Amino acid sequence: MSEEQRFFRFLRDRIGLDVASVGAPLIERAVQQRSVAAKARGLDDYWLLLQGSAQEQQALIEAVIVPETWFLRYPETFVALARLAQARLAHLKMARPLRLLSLPCSTGEEPYSIAMSLLDAGIAPGLFKVDGVDVSPLSVGRAQRAIYGRNSFRGADTSFRERHFTAVDEGYLLGDRVRRQVHLQPGNVLDPALLAGEPPYDFVFCRNLLIYFDMATQQQVFEVLKGLTQEDGVLFIGPAEGSLLARMGMRPIGIAQSFAFVRHAEPEPAPPVRVAPSRPLLEPPPRARSAPPPATIRAFTAKPALPQADTDAAGLLARIASLANEGSSSEAQAACERYLQRFEPHAQVYYWLGLLSDVAGNSQQAQEHYRKALYLQPQHPEALAHLAALLAARGDLAGARRLQERAARSDRTADSERKR
C-alpha cells in the first residue's frame, strides 16, 4: 500500500469520498499542505498526528472540500420547486408548514435560494422552513454570516439581489427575512445520527454529491436520503446524477430541467412550468487532441444561426459551452454538429453531446458520445466519470469500476510527470 492509500481510505471512511472522482493528486496535495502546516516530519508523522487529533482530521477534510456553488444554480429547479410547493400546500390544506432540506448546503447559497424562491412565489414565511446541513463547519459558518461576493451571483438575471441583499463593504449581506427561514448546522451524511428524531422532509436537495462517492457509498447515502424524504416527497439532484437515481428505483417527476425525482406516489400535479435559462451543467476546460474520426452521429434538427465570430474552432467551443450553460440544449447540440462539420473531431465536443443527452434522459446516446470522446482522448476525466456512472446504472459495476480506476491511474501518472 502506498503512503497515500491510507489517507484515501481515511477520507472514504469519514466522508465517503471516492479518490477517482476528484483525482489522487488533489488529495495528495491536500495531505502535503496539511503535513507542512502541522509541522510534521513526514507522512508517517502526519498520519500519527491525524489519528489522534479530531481538529486535524477536520482540517484535512476542509482541505479537500472545494465549495462550488452560487445562488439559483439551475434556476429551472427553483421554478419547479415553487410550483410544487404551492401544490403541496394546497394538498395539505395548510395543515402544517413545508419542510425542506439542503444537504450538503455548502456556504449557504442553495438553502437561501430555496427560501428566496418560495418567498418570491408568494408563500408566507410561516408556511415553510429550510434546514441546511454540511460536513464543513467552516462552510456553515460562512453561510450563517451570509455575506457574499460577486462569484455567488452568476448569470444575467440577478434581480433577486436587489430584493434580498444589501451592499456592504465586504460584498452583499442577505436580509433577515430570508435568513430567518433557514436553519444551518454541521453534519455528516454518513453519520447514523444525522437529523435523528426529525420528521421527514417534503423536498430534499442533494445535488452534485453522489458523483463523489463510490458505488457502495452511493447506495448507503441513497438509503439515508430516502429516510429523510416523505414517502411522496421530491428529491432534487444534480444533472449528472439522474442515471444513478434511476438505478435505485427513482423516476423523474416530468418537469424538464428540474432534476427532480420521486419514489412511489405521484406528487400533487403542478401547473405547467415555464423555466428560465439553465446555469452551467458542467464546464470543464477545452482539451485539444486530433485522432481519426469516430462514427457519424445522428443529424440534429435545430440549427439556429450562430454569431459570425464563431468561425474558429476555439470560438465555437466557447460558444457551445455558453449555450449549454444558458440551458439552451438544442442550440448547444446544433453548435456541436456545426463544429463537427467544420473542424476535426474533438473530444470535448463529444463530451458536451454526451452530457446534453445524459441530462435529457437519453442514456444510450450519452454512452455513445462519451465513448467517442474517450476514443479521441482516452483519459478525458469527465467522460470517464460520467460513462462510469451510466454503466453502473445499467448494472455493469465491473465496467464502471474499471473506468474509475483508469481515471485514478491517469491522475497519478499526470502528477508524476509534473514532478519531473
Q: Output the CATH code of domain 313-419.
A: 1.25.40.10
Q: What is the pLDDT of residues 76-96, one digit of tens each?
A: 899 999 999 999 999 999 899
Which residue bears the cell 464546464? 283
The x, y and z cell numbers of residue 406, run together, are 483508469
Where is average pLDDT lowest: 11-20, 21-30, 302-311? 302-311
Cβ(356)–Cβ(329) under 8 Å? yes
pLDDT band at 274 (very low <50, low <70, confident <90, very high): very low
Cβ(220)–Cβ(253) under 8 Å? no
Per DSSP, the three-state class of 133 is strand
pLDDT band at 182 (very low <50, low <70, confident <90, very high): very high
**Where is 102: in which H helix or E strand?**
strand 98-102
Instruction: Look at the alpha carbons of 405, 409, 412, 414 in this order and tell me if their dihedral is positive or negative.
Output: negative
Percent of the chain with pLDDT over 90: 47
The x, y and z cell numbers of residue 184, run together, are 444551518
Alpha helices in 288-396 (DSSP H): 313-325, 329-342, 347-359, 363-376, 381-393
**Between residues 248 and 56, which one has the greater pLDDT?**
56
**Predicted local distance difference test score (pLDDT) of residue 83:** 95
**Predicted local distance difference test score (pLDDT) of residue 117:** 97
CA Rg, the chain, in Å?
Answer: 22
pLDDT for residue 309 is more than 50: no
pLDDT for residue 395 is more than 80: no
Distance CA 120, CA 79 (A): 10
Per DSSP, the three-state class of 204 is strand
Q: Where are the domains of the chain?
A: 5-64, 75-262, 313-419
Distance CA 211, CA 215 (A): 9
Q: Does pTM surpass 0.95?
A: no
Q: Output the CATH code of domain 75-262.
A: 3.40.50.150
Q: Tell me the pLDDT of the chain averaged across its residues.
A: 82
* CATH topology match: 75-262 vs 313-419: no
**Predicted local distance difference test score (pLDDT) of residue 302:** 33
